[in-house]
Amino acid sequence: MTRTATERNFDGPYKDLLAELASLIEWLQTEHDVSYVKAGDDKIYAYGGDGFVLVMDESGLNGLIELITPKGSLSITPAEDGKITVTAAEGEAAAKEILREGIDGVRRYYGNRYWSTPTTSA
């Protein structure tokens, strides 16, 4: 059985923001399904609008995630030891701001929409 993104334990300077991002990813995958683009063997998903973009492959936090905002961008990758690495050219303080702004921007974009993916019975 695989863990969901919100069951993951984060640590380090981005702990709370990564937990929020995991929650956002789970919400997006549940409520706002989108089509994917194939890149090699991977399915790549892009969410967002209004200048806020979240790009990830089907493995979510177990793969590369890129977050783009009007103020900058960052990459989130899993390390071999299971920890998550956040990389931004602007440094840690700016990375925290980009994460905060990106999470809020993507959630606001989809939260204001009038639709969500319907739940089907199995």
Q: Tens-of-pLDDT digits for all 122 residues of the chain?
A: 344 444 567 888 999 999 999 999 999 988 887 888 998 899 999 999 999 999 999 988 889 999 999 999 999 999 888 788 899 988 899 999 999 999 999 999 988 776 666 666 65
The answer to whether residue 120 sits within a structural domain is no
C-alpha distances out from residue 41 to 34, 37, 109, Å = 18, 10, 29
Q: How far is CA 101 from the centre of its chain?
A: 12
The answer to whether residue 26 sits within a structural domain is yes
Tens digit of each residue's pLDDT (9 = 90 or more) over 29-39? 888 878 889 98
The answer to whether residue 90 sits within a structural domain is yes
CB-based burial of residue 28 (10 Å sphere; 0-12 exposed, 13-18 middle, 19+ buried)?
A: buried
Q: How far is CA 87 from the centre of its chain?
A: 14
**pLDDT recorded at residue 76:** 94
**pLDDT recorded at residue 60:** 87
Residue 42: give the domain boundaries. 8-111
**Residue 102 DSSP code:** H
**Residue 32 DSSP code:** S
Ramachandran category for residue 85: left, alpha or beta (phi over 0 → left; psi -120 to 50 → alpha)? beta
The answer to whether residue 96 sits within a structural domain is yes
How many structural domains compose the chain? 1
The answer to whether residue 67 sits within a structural domain is yes
Rounded to an integer, what distance in angstroms lies between the CA atom of residue 90 and that of residue 52? 17
The answer to whether residue 71 sits within a structural domain is yes
**pLDDT recorded at residue 21:** 96
Query: Model-level pTM?
Result: 0.83
**pLDDT recorded at residue 55:** 96
Coil/strand/helix, residue 96 = helix
∠ at Cα 76 (70, 79), nearest 5°? 165
The answer to whether residue 104 sits within a structural domain is yes
The answer to whether residue 116 sits within a structural domain is no
